[in-house]
Amino acid sequence: MNKEQALAVFENYNIRRMYDEEKEIWFFSVVDIIAALTQQQDFQTARKYWNKLKERLKKEGSQSVTNCHQLKMVAEDGKRRLTDVADPETLLRIIQSVPSPKAEPIKLWLAKVGYERIQDMSDPARSLDRAREYWQQHGRSEKWIQQRMMGQETRNKLTDYWRDHEISGEQEYAILTNLIHREWSGVSVKQHKDLKGLKTQNLRDHMSEAELIFTALAELSSRQIAESTEATGMKENADAGRKGGRIAKQARQELEDKTGRSVVTGENFLPPAAAHKRLGEDE
């Protein structure tokens, strides 16, 4: 798993985090979040608070602790040590267990550092409006924006089907997504991002119109095949995904034969400065 480490700051508190490129998600140090919530500058005191909270949550049968895992992060002494980390959704549940006037500011801060979707759970329209505004500000055409949003709707219907048929957790979603993507495009999600010079950016936000269309075709086909066979669990949904991906692959290859151009490209919407930097690194 390729992870990029970065430091974020909430008020005067440093929050360690690591980005998982395969899952496309940030993981935050739980004890750092606890320190900021309790306004505790002493790391050991914050760590003891978190340990006691973990015990209480376990006794209550909360899944929050179960959903935490450990990654190596740089500690105060400069050494990399295993640290409890959690994704934003798990952090929200943990935050709710800590009486603190900083709870709401922490939630808003999480949104600002890349997790607007947390707030959007109760208001999906808000997410769509912000996404459209973001794409417009970055020069996307109305045609591209329409295709991107239609593709997202297709994606959501597929993940809804998975959720209702014994597919759970970001890891299983990521495995099936990568399987379908590799089947239609001939490259993995990671390889496609590398081709475009992307790191933490969302791959779909940097796809061409054609790439978006074939991604949507693969996911639409996968869902409809899964529905027709009532696919349940990883094995059956993976089989439906391979078949759905192959349908889009055949269409892609036929188009490429007619046009002489590859559908999968390294083109992206990165700012010129970022693109120039990437070229310099490749040389």
Q: What is the pLDDT of residues 57-94, one digit of tens each?
A: 888 888 788 888 898 888 877 778 899 999 888 888 89
Regions of the chain with pLDDT less than 50: 1-2, 116-122, 274-283
Of 47, 168, 25, 174, nearest in space to 110 by CA: 25
218 in Cβ contact with 282 (< 8 Å): no
> What pLDDT does 280 receive?
43
> What pLDDT does 115 receive?
54
Which residues make Cβ contacts (< 8 Å) with residue 273, sequence separation at least 6? none
pTM of whole model > 0.75?
Answer: no
Tell me the residue type at 168.
Answer: S
**Which tens digit of pLDDT belongs to each residue from 32-42?**
999 999 998 88
> What pLDDT does 274 receive?
45
CA–CA gap between residue 28 and residue 136 (Å, rounded) = 30
List the structure tokens of 156: 């959501």
CA–CA gap between residue 2 and residue 112 (Å, rounded) = 24
CA–CA gap between residue 102 and residue 39 (Å, rounded) = 8
Q: Write down the domain spans for the chain.
A: 3-118, 123-282
Q: What number of other Cβ atoms are within 10 A of residue 214's Cβ? A: 25
1 in Cβ contact with 61 (< 8 Å): no
**Which tens digit of pLDDT belongs to each residue from 136-169?**
888 899 999 999 999 999 999 999 999 999 998 7
